[in-house]
Every structure is written in C-alpha cells, then in structure tokens.
Structure 1
C-alpha cells in the first residue's frame, strides 16, 4: 500500500498541500492520505482527499512514538516527538514493512509537508 503522509500548519490551504504532495511524487498509485488524528478533519486536507478520491488515515500521535524518519525538523521534533510528521504518518499508515519512497518535501509557502511510504498492508 502506498500512502502519502501530510504535515501542515493551521493556515495551510489545499493548494499548499497539493503542491507538497506533487513535489513528493504526486497522487498516482496512492491508497490513502495520512496525518495525525488532531489534523485529520482539517478542511484543506478533507478537500484534497475529496479531490483525489482518497481516504484519510488518522494516526494517533502516540502511534508515532519511536518512528525513525529520514529528515529532521527541530520544531516538529519538539512539538510531536518525531523528526518529520509527514514521514512518520506515512510510514505508520502504510503498515508492516513500510519504507519511505519519497522523503519529506515542503511547500513553497512552508505551511505544508508531504512524504510517501509503501508498506505491505492492503
């Protein structure tokens, strides 16, 4: 299963999320979008998911504990306990034997990040 993890600030809009996703490799072949539970209902994410016809996988924050990420953000690490929210959410949501196929990229306005992972879960 291929999943895009998304991290974003409150002010992020659907254009920023789409730009980050496109920079990470795009929506082709994705089975879902993922983010932490607290952000899963954000209007920009819901709009993007609807536009792409993909479900949103909400990952509990405590489910990210101990997930190793390829990139590190000091701000994200201090706030969420992982180096990259997008990478960690993608890896957890992709399931067993998940591996990162596109590391975190940041939208030009710096309000959204995306990463893509593949795992064995259907």
Structure 2
C-alpha cells in the first residue's frame, strides 16, 4: 500500500495539495494521511474527493513515535515531530518505509511525503 502523508497550513488550497503530491513524482497512491485535527479541512476533503482517495486520520501520539528523515524546527516545536507529512505517511502503515521524503508545494503551504508498507 502506498500512502501520501500531508502537512499543510490552514490557508492551503486544493491546488497546494495537488502541487505537493505532483512534486513527489509518484504515479499513484492508495490513501492520504494527515493529522486528525486537519482531516476535515475543506481543501483536503476536496482533494480527497477529486482523487477518490480515503483520508487516514493520524493522531498526535502516533506521529510523535515515528522518526522522520527531514527535520523542521518549527514543526518539532509545534507538533513534536520533524515532519508532519513524513510522520503521517509512516504512521498510517505497518512495516512502513519512506520512499519519498517531504517535498514542499510551490506556494509553501503544503508538504507531502510518500511511504509504502502494509495496511493497518
């Protein structure tokens, strides 16, 4: 299973999320993962509907137990992880491996990372 993890600001648009996913250069994903408190965001829900993808909600404690490849000081202070996108992608799966580290959308409002593993 391939999961795209997303982190994004409240002002991110569906285009922000599309651009971030496109920058990963992955052909397709099976689901998207994001923090529970962002899962109902209008832009994310529109993105999920457009791409016909389920949204996997990742709680803060699960994100904080995952070691991320990239590190953002701001994100570490606010979320307790180095990368929301990477942590969500990895925490959504069993035996997960990061295949694409965090990339940042052109408008700098969204991040995306790709992980592959077994469904939970």
2:105 corresponds to: 107
Q: TM-score, normalised by structure 2?
A: 0.96
Which residue does 1:29 correspond to in 2? 28
Structure 1 CA distance for aligned equivalents of residues 31 and 5 of structure 2: 9
C-alpha distance in structure 1 between counterparts of 2:94 and 2:6, whole Å: 19
Q: What runs of 5+ residues in structure 1 fail to find an aligned partner?
A: none
Q: CA deviation at 1:62?
A: 1.2
Corresponding position of 2:9: 9
Give the alignment's TM-score, normalised by structure 1: 0.94
Q: How far, CA to CA, are the matches of 2:45 and 2:105 in structure 1?
A: 18
Aligned CA-pair RMSD: 1.1
Structure 2 regions of 5+ residues with no counterpart?
none
Deviating above 4 A after TM superposition, structure 1's stretches of 4 or more consecutive aligned residues are none
Once residues 25 and 83 of structure 2 are traced to their aligned partners in structure 1, the CA distance between those partners, rounded to angstroms, is 17
May I ask how many residue pairs the two structures share in their alignment? 120
Name the counterpart of 2:88: 89
